[in-house]
Amino acid sequence: MTSSTSAGAPARAPGRRLLPTEPLLRRLVLMSLVNAVGDGLFVTVNVLFFTRSLGLTPGSVALGLTVAGVCGVFAGVPMGRLADRTGSRRLLLVLGPLEAAALLGYAFVHSFAAFVVLACAATVLSRGAGAVRSALIARALPAEGQVRSRALLRSVANAGLVVGSLGAVLALQADSYAGYVTMLVLDAASFLGVTALLTGLPEPATPASGAGVGGAAEGGRRTALRDRRYLLVTALHAVLELQLAVLTVGLPLWVVLGTEAPAATVAAVNVVNCLLVVLFQVRASRGVTGVPSAARACARGALLLAAGCLGYAAAQYGPAWAAAGMLLAGALVHSLGELLTSAGGWTLSLDLADARAHGEYQGVFLSGQAGAHVIGPLVVTLTAVDHGAVGWVVLAGLFALAGPAMLPAVRGAAVRGPMGAPAPGAG
């Protein structure tokens, strides 16, 4: 899926421009940046806000967020279907203000029940909006530049999260209700800012019913929940998405409980991961040009994730300096694997979808990711945290099986051209 400048790739003159020259992509980048900075501001402080300012216990917060996460898993498909019917941009113009209102509602929570209800509403809106945004990008940007454009958007989003997290330091220092609510208000304002930027985008067109793809009756639209190949690929990629829980849950606990490495190693690992994503996600996507190369990228990335897990396991057996070195080396390899599996996943989620139902298909794929994010902490805890090096080997084996399984899973898939239609001569 390489592209020319006019086809929607991240067109930039090296060292001269921070933003793409293509107007549509530039606006999408600004939307991603605004949204990520807002998220970074509140995500950094939300647990402390819930416990220290709202008076909830850590256990009740964890339970409430878990219930909300489960609700969010089921939001993508119905919201995606709604986007297919009403238009993704039109739906996002409604969802943005609703997300802002749900977030502001946290300032008025005074009970656990109200917290759970609001957390579920906010998560459903967030997960649903994610599927709709993905469908918007799938339809708005030319297919030949999709992967590199999405890589750029992810790099910008990670940079925005870092900026937002740094901005939240003042609220953490103050440790006050007013400081935390300020972060909440700024995050809500970011949703409204993204909505304002959306008003300048045209509503992407949905391909006509005649633009059929393999696996569908002529003129008939496929249904994602009955597309066995797509469901299998979604499940396999969801396994690879467990890598997020490895970084955010397993590794911090492992550093403190299972190794001699200093606790500061956790921060160093996070910095390594964020920097690699910001600097190299676009470069990692360059070789991903279709379904076969995307499957190979997932396979290679999964093997790197497995190697990273083995590196984490080895950190158990050395002194502090050696353990820290092994953990950082594992994080480096892990991050490279994450770059490849992300790029491969975007391509598979787009190229294996029916272009007339991008909302539904993106909803299914992102629901798989959301499910992995919900059960990930439990999986990582039951393996690596509870069983040490043996558990890390089990996780490594899981990645090493799921990634290469992508290759037979996509074998025989139709070769598609722009917007998911069969390429000339395909099939």
Residue pLDDT, tens place only, 334-355: 999 999 999 999 899 989 988 8
* 248 in the same domain as 177: no
Q: Higher pLDDT residue, 336 or 209?
A: 336
Cα three-residue angle 102-270-373, rounded to 5 degrees: 45
> Per the domain annotation, does 11 fall within a domain?
no
Band of the pLDDT at 17, cuts 50, 70, 90? low
Inter-CA distances, 216 with 33, 206, 353, Å: 37, 17, 11
> Per the domain annotation, does 214 fall within a domain?
no
* 408 in the same domain as 265: yes
> Per the domain annotation, does 9 fall within a domain?
no
Last residue of a domain, one of 198, 216, 239: 198
What is the chain's Cα-based Rg? 21
> Per the domain annotation, does 143 fall within a domain?
yes
Cα three-residue angle 379-402-394, rounded to 5 degrees: 45
> Per the domain annotation, does 303 fall within a domain?
yes
* 354 in the same domain as 236: yes
Are 305 and 337 within 8 A, CB to CB?
A: yes
**Domain with 297 in it:** 224-417
> Per the domain annotation, does 386 fall within a domain?
yes
* 353 in the same domain as 296: yes
* 252 in the same domain as 189: no
Domain total of the chain: 2
- What pLDDT was estimated at residue 216? 44
> Per the domain annotation, does 166 fall within a domain?
yes
> Per the domain annotation, does 425 fall within a domain?
no
Tokens of 101: 């209102």
User: What is the per-residue burial (b if ≥16 Cβ within 10 Å, else e) of 135-161?
Assistant: bbbbbbbbbbbbbbbbbbbbbbbbbbb
- What pLDDT was estimated at residue 221? 63
* 160 in the same domain as 88: yes
pLDDT digits (tens, 9 = 90+) for 232-265: 999 999 999 999 999 988 999 999 889 999 988 9
* 230 in the same domain as 159: no
Centre a 10 Å sphere on the Cβ of residue 125 and count the other Cβ atoms it contains. 23
- What pLDDT was estimated at residue 142? 78
* 388 in the same domain as 308: yes
Last residue of a domain, one of 198, 216, 237: 198
User: What does the alpha-carbon distance between residue 409 and residue 154 come to, in Å, rounded to a whole number?
Assistant: 26
Last residue of a domain, one of 198, 232, 258: 198
pLDDT digits (tens, 9 = 90+) for 269-295: 988 898 899 899 988 888 888 899 999
Lowest mean pLDDT among 73-82, 246-255, 319-328, 417-426: 417-426
* 95 in the same domain as 193: yes
Share of the chain above pLDDT 90, in %: 58
* 232 in the same domain as 159: no
CATH of the domain at 50: 1.20.1250.20
Residue 372 has pLDDT above 60, yes or no: yes
* 240 in the same domain as 305: yes
Tokens of 268: 């160093």
Share of the chain above pLDDT 70, in %: 88
* 321 in the same domain as 250: yes
- What pLDDT was estimated at residue 10? 45
